[in-house]
Structure 1
Amino acid sequence: MRINGVAQRPVPDGQANRLTPERLRTIVESAHLNFLIGAGTSSAYFAPLGNIEDALTELADATGSKAAKPLVRASIQGYFFEKVLAPNVRIIDRDPSAEPVLRSYATFVRTLNRILLRRHSTLLSKQANIFTTNVDMLFEVAMEELGIDFSDGFSGKIRPKFDLGDFNTLRFRMGSRYEHRFEVPVFNLVKIHGSASWRQQERDNRKTDIYFDHGLTLVGEVGRLLDKAKPHLLSVSVTQAEGEGPTMRPVSELISEAKGVTLTPEVEAFAKGYDSLGIVNPDKRKFATTVLNETYYELIRRFANELEKENSVLFVHGFSFRDEHLCDLVLRAARTNPTLQVIVFCYSRGGREGYRNLLPDTEIKNGNIEFVTPDEPGEGQNERRINLDVLESDYFAPIVRNKLPEPDQRIELEIRTPPVEPARD
Structure 2
Amino acid sequence: MTNNNHTGEDVISISDIYDKDINFLFGSGASFGLLPTLQLQLSDENGRKFTLEELATKFEKDRDRRFVPLFMHYYSTCIRPAEQLTLETATATDSGRPVIENYRTFLTTILEMVKRRKALDRCCNVFTTNYDGCFPLVADQLLKEGNTDFVLNDGSRGFTKRILQARNFGSYLCQTGVFGRYQSSIPQINLIHLHGSVYWSKADSAIVVDYDILSKESLLNEDSTTVLQQFSETLNSSAATLEDLQEPNFDDDALSTFWAKYEQIPIVNPTKWKFHETVYEEHYYQMLRLLSYELEKPNAVLITFGFSFADEHILNLVMRSLSNPGLQVFVCCFDASEHQVMCEKFKSYRNVQCLTIDGENLDFTTFNKKVLAWPETKETAQSVVEAGSDAVDDGAEASV
Note if 1:129 corresponds to 2:125. Answer: yes
Note if 1:25 corresponds to 2:2. Answer: no
Note if 1:239 corresponds to 2:239. Answer: no
* Cα distance between partner residues in 2 of 1:288 and 1:17: 44
In structure 2, the CA distance between the partners of 1:397 and 1:199, relative to structure 1 (3 Å rule), is same
Note if 1:49 corresponds to 2:38. Answer: yes
Question: CA-atom RMSD, angstroms?
Answer: 3.1
* Cα distance between partner residues in 2 of 1:239 and 1:224: 21
* Cα distance between partner residues in 1 of 2:361 and 2:84: 27
* Cα distance between partner residues in 2 of 1:257 and 1:105: 38
Deviation at 1:317, TM superposition (A): 0.4
The residue identity in structure 1 corresponding to 2:113 is I
CA contact (8 A) 1:38 1:320 kept: yes
In structure 2, the CA distance between the partners of 1:249 and 1:53, relative to structure 1 (3 Å rule), is farther
Deviation at 1:55, TM superposition (A): 1.8
Q: Secondary structure at the match of 2:262?
A: helix
Deviation at 1:188, TM superposition (A): 0.7
Q: Deviations over 1:102-150 (max 9, x none)?
A: 221011101110111013x57x721111011111100011111112311
Rg (Cα) greater in structure? 1
Q: Secondary structure at the match of 1:281?
A: coil
**Which among 216, 225, 229 is matched to residue 224 of structure 2?**
229
* Counterpart residue number, 2:160: 158
Deviation at 1:337, TM superposition (A): 0.6
Q: Deviations over 1:272-321 (max 9, x none)?
A: 222111111112x2347555211111111111121111110100100012
The residue identity in structure 2 corresponding to 1:20 is D
**Which among 351, 362, 372 is matched to residue 338 of structure 2?**
351
* Cα distance between partner residues in 2 of 1:270 and 1:217: 20
* Counterpart residue number, 1:77: 71
The residue identity in structure 2 corresponding to 1:347 is F
In structure 2, the CA distance between the partners of 1:94 and 1:371, relative to structure 1 (3 Å rule), is same
Q: Secondary structure at the match of 1:394?
A: helix
The residue identity in structure 1 corresponding to 2:367 is L
Q: Secondary structure at the match of 2:115?
A: helix
Which blocks of at least 5 consecutive residues in structure 2 are unaligned? 40-50, 144-149, 379-400
CA contact (8 A) 1:162 1:210 kept: yes
The residue identity in structure 1 corresponding to 2:325 is P
The residue identity in structure 2 corresponding to 1:125 is D
* Counterpart residue number, 1:210: 207
In structure 2, the CA distance between the partners of 1:92 and 1:23, relative to structure 1 (3 Å rule), is closer
1:113-192 to 2 correspondences below 5 Å: 113-119=111-117, 121=118, 125-147=121-143, 148-175=150-177, 180-192=182-194
Sequence identity of aligned pairs in percent?
24
Deviation at 1:185, TM superposition (A): 1.2
**Which among 367, 371, 377 is matched to residue 354 of structure 2?**
371
* Cα distance between partner residues in 2 of 1:212 and 1:248: 40
In structure 2, the CA distance between the partners of 1:239 and 1:84, relative to structure 1 (3 Å rule), is closer
* Cα distance between partner residues in 2 of 1:13 and 1:320: 20
1:263-274 to 2 correspondences below 5 Å: 263-264=252-253, 266-274=254-262
Note if 1:294 corresponds to 2:277. Answer: no
CA contact (8 A) 1:21 1:398 kept: no
CA contact (8 A) 2:129 2:194 kept: yes
* Cα distance between partner residues in 2 of 1:19 and 1:344: 18
The residue identity in structure 1 corresponding to 2:3 is D
Q: Deviations over 1:24-69 (max 9, x none)?
A: 421222x2000010111111211121111112222332235xxx3x
Deviation at 1:214, TM superposition (A): 2.3
* Cα distance between partner residues in 2 of 1:350 and 1:296: 30
* Cα distance between partner residues in 2 of 1:214 and 1:42: 18
Q: Deviations over 1:127-176 (max 9, x none)?
A: 11101111110001111111231111111121111111110212212356
CA contact (8 A) 2:10 2:375 kept: no
The residue identity in structure 1 corresponding to 2:353 is E
Q: TM-score scaled to structure 2, two decimals? A: 0.79
The total of aligned residue pairs comes to 354
In structure 2, the CA distance between the partners of 1:60 and 1:17, relative to structure 1 (3 Å rule), is farther
**Which among 261, 270, 273 is matched to residue 282 of structure 1?**
270
* Counterpart residue number, 1:40: 29
* Counterpart residue number, 1:58: 58
* Cα distance between partner residues in 1 of 2:162 and 2:289: 23
Deviation at 1:191, TM superposition (A): 0.4
Deviation at 1:253, TM superposition (A): 8.0
In structure 2, the CA distance between the partners of 1:178 and 1:63, relative to structure 1 (3 Å rule), is closer
* Cα distance between partner residues in 2 of 1:388 and 1:214: 25
CA contact (8 A) 1:88 1:196 kept: yes
* Counterpart residue number, 1:3: none
* Cα distance between partner residues in 1 of 2:240 and 2:7: 34
* Cα distance between partner residues in 1 of 2:311 and 2:289: 15
In structure 2, the CA distance between the partners of 1:288 and 1:195, relative to structure 1 (3 Å rule), is closer
Deviation at 1:76, TM superposition (A): 1.4
Q: Secondary structure at the match of 2:4?
A: helix
The residue identity in structure 2 corresponding to 1:86 is R
CA contact (8 A) 1:56 1:73 kept: yes
In structure 2, the CA distance between the partners of 1:82 and 1:142, relative to structure 1 (3 Å rule), is same
Q: Deviations over 1:229-282 (max 9, x none)?
A: 3355581543345xxxxx9964x986x947x97313x43332222211111111
